[in-house]
């Protein structure tokens, strides 16, 4: 896999960071975390889908530094989830499906969300399988997406 060596270095550093730096001073934590992000970005830009996905997660609302992530960015989350999904990372496809389902950094698109959940499940993601099952249940009679998909089905008949 592309960038595997760089990703392994970032992953190992990240594990060490969480194991050894949790009680460090805020300034030390910032320096260590900046180094981790640098290693992760390097692997992501080399084309490693695991690094792309993990980098996307670093832009969620909470991260190593705090539950109020100063790097929070839905735009960057969407970008890196998209890149990782395009490189067949199952969990990234599931995360991207959630973004489409809720219209986060994109037009709300339930059909795209369904397709991404199907891709995620086909790639073997347990998260994707769970989310696909949930979405299909929401599409069935009485579910929150039933009316949307019922109209589509009746139009194709």
> Is pLDDT above 90 for 129?
yes
d(CA 151, CA 121): 25
pTM: 0.86
> Is pLDDT above 80 for 153?
no
Query: pLDDT value at position 2?
Result: 82
Q: Write out the two tokens for 14.
A: 């990240």
* Mean pLDDT to the nearest integer, 113-127: 97
d(CA 144, CA 122): 24
Q: How many C-beta atoms lie closer than 10 Å to residue 83's C-beta?
A: 21
Q: How far is CA 5 from each of CA 8, 126, 134, rounded to the nearest angstrom?
A: 5, 26, 36
At CA 62, angle to CA 58 and CA 64, rounded to 5? 70
Query: pLDDT value at position 16?
Result: 85
Query: pLDDT value at position 15?
Result: 87
Q: What pLDDT digit, counting tens, does each position of 51-75 carry?
A: 999 999 999 987 777 677 888 999 9
């Amino acid at each position: 896999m592309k960038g595997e060596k760089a990703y392994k270095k970032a992953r190992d550093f990240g594990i060490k960071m969480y194991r050894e730096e949790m009680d460090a001073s805020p300034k030390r934590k910032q320096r260590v975390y900046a180094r981790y992000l640098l290693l992760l970005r390097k692997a992501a830009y080399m084309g490693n889908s695991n690094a792309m996905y993990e980098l996307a997660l670093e832009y969620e609302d909470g991260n190593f530094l705090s539950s109020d992530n100063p790097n929070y960015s839905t735009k960057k989350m969407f970008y890196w989830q998209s890149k990782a999904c395009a490189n067949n990372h199952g969990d990234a496809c599931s995360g991207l499906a959630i973004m489409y389902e809720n219209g986060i950094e994109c037009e709300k698109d339930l059909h795209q969300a369904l397709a991404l959940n199907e891709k995620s499940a086909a790639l073997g993601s347990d998260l994707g399988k769970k989310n696909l099952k949930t979405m299909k249940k929401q599409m069935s009679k009485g579910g929150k997406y039933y009316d949307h998909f019922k109209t589509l089905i009746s139009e194709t008949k």
